[in-house]
Amino acid sequence: MAVSGILLVLFLVAHMAGNLHVFEGREEMNEYAHGLRTLGEPLLPHESILWILRIGLIACAVVHIWSAVVLTRRALQARPVRYASKKPAKGESRHAVATMRWGAIVVFLFIIWHLLDLTFRTVNPVKDVPDAYGAVIATFSPERWPVTVFYLLALFALFFHLRHGIWSAVQTIAGPDTKWRKRTQAIGLFVALIIVLGFAIVPISVTFGLVN
């Protein structure tokens, strides 16, 4: 859970930073997208590095989801009878109790939509794969505002997921003392904010016509 999660966070950082090419314009963005496919050429075949990264990413996602299913099943078996009275959570990651598992489902559904939208282009008006810039502008166009709203909702879920997930992964792998645990929680919150704001700025800018 922790190792696959950290690798997925590293992917998110790279993905978020790459998205910001949209602010440089159509040519630069499409050149970046093309660059990902031709990475390693001519030494390596077309899209080889891209596919290695994709397979690694899929493996991380599978391991992450499998770990979550195992943990959730163990949790359900460990408390066969529920409490009659509920108490508000009051631990250090109280938001995680309510958001981690439901948020994960929102993020999962979003990823399916996101792949159909911007990778396979099934639900995107721009079918021309090399035109990454055009596809981003088209999907977040003002008349398709529900797409932007869904994107932002998924980012909201992702924020809570990362806010807990980052420090939780460090706690599992490194086991910091109290001082470093508090620092890790602060760093996790900061990284979650950076990632989510970096992703959010693209659809917001396109929908409000700041990029077109």
Partner 1 sequence: MKLSLRIWRQPDAQAPGEMVSYEIDEVSEDASFLEMLDVLNERLISEGDDPVAFDHDCREGICGACSLVIDGQPHGPQAATTTCQLHMRKFKDGDSIDIEPYRAGAFPVIKDLVVDRSAFDRIIQAGGYISAPTGTAPDAHAVPIPKQDADAAFSAAACIGCGACVAACPNGSGMLFMGAKVTHLSLMPQGQPERATRVLGMVAAHDDAGFGGCTNTGECAAACPKEIGLDVIGKLNRDFRKAAVRAA
Angle, in degrees to the nearest 10, between helices 2-19 and 48-78: 130
- Exactly one of 27, 83, 143, 212 binds partner 1 (CB under 8 A); that residue is 83
Contacts of 140 (CB under 8 A, 6+ apart): 147, 148, 151, 202, 203, 206, 207
Compute the C-alpha angle 69/75/78, nearest 5°: 140
Minimum distance of partner 1 from residue 160's CB (angstroms): 13
Minimum distance of partner 1 from residue 184's CB (angstroms): 10
Listed ranges 32-40, 45-53, 78-86, 124-132: which one lies at the site for partner 1 (CB under 8 A): 78-86
Q: Is 84 in the site for partner 1 (CB under 8 A)?
A: yes
- Exactly one of 161, 164, 195, 200 binds partner 1 (CB under 8 A); that residue is 164
Q: How far is CA 84 from the centre of its chain?
A: 36
- Exactly one of 36, 52, 70, 105 binds partner 1 (CB under 8 A); that residue is 70
Which position has the token pair 């077109």?
A: 212
Q: Is 4 in the site for partner 1 (CB under 8 A)?
A: no
Listed ranges 8-16, 18-26, 144-152, 177-185: which one lies at the site for partner 1 (CB under 8 A): 177-185
The full 3-state SS of 108-168, as one line of letters, equals HHHHHHHHHHHHCCCCCCCCCCCCHHHHHHHHCCHHHHHHHHHHHHHHHHHHHHHHHHHHH
Q: Is 107 in the site for partner 1 (CB under 8 A)?
A: no
Q: Is 71 in the site for partner 1 (CB under 8 A)?
A: yes
- On the 0-12 / 13-18 / 19+ scale of CB atoms within 10 A, 85 is exposed
Minimum distance of partner 1 from residue 192's CB (angstroms): 15
Q: Is 42 in the site for partner 1 (CB under 8 A)?
A: no
Listed ranges 9-17, 37-45, 49-57, 89-97: which one lies at the site for partner 1 (CB under 8 A): 89-97
Compute the C-alpha angle 18/56/150, nearest 5°: 50
Total Cβ atoms within 10 A of residue 45: 10
Q: Is 37 in the site for partner 1 (CB under 8 A)?
A: no
Listed ranges 6-14, 30-38, 166-174, 201-209: which one lies at the site for partner 1 (CB under 8 A): 166-174
Binding site for partner 1 (CB under 8 A): 70-71, 74-75, 77-87, 89-94, 96-97, 100, 164, 167-168, 171-178, 181
